[in-house]
Amino acid sequence: QVQLVESGGGSVQAEGSLKISCAASGGHLTLNSMGWFRQTPGKEREGVAAIYYGGGSLWYANWVKGRFTISAKGNMVYLQMNNLRPEDTAMYYCVASRSDPVTVVTGDPRDIEYWGRGTQVTVSS
């Protein structure tokens, strides 16, 4: 069983930056991809970015448009978020899957095998 633990969320002003992290443990060596989703109350979960486990090919949601950067090293995955906007306010969830990064970001979230508990990111105007 894979466990995912996020850290690094918090509050920041608009146009600011924040970096969130996620550590995988347990059966993580069977994983193909790790990534990030986000969700705000009343809205569907949306994929942000994903990367092959340990680094390599990655994929971003179209709306990211260069503001966010995903990276990975060992059992860790990171999301560097720059030029943050109030609409980026959400709970950010670390995910892990046996699927490839494109499928993780663009596919059905219900097919993603592992989820962290989330870390809150709040952007004020």
Beta-bridge mates of residue 51: 34, 58
pLDDT at 24: 94
pLDDT at 28: 64
The pLDDT tens digits for 42-63 are 999 999 999 998 888 999 999 9
User: Which residue, among 19, 2, 36, has the nearest Cα to 80 in the 3D structure?
Assistant: 19
pLDDT at 119: 98
**Ordered per-residue pLDDT tens for the chain, 125 residues:** 899 999 999 999 999 999 999 999 987 667 899 999 999 989 999 999 999 988 889 999 999 989 999 999 989 999 999 999 999 999 999 999 999 999 999 999 999 999 999 999 999 99
**For residue 82, what is the DSSP state?**
-
At 59, list the tokens.
């994929």
Sign of the CA dihedral 87, 90, 92, 98?
negative
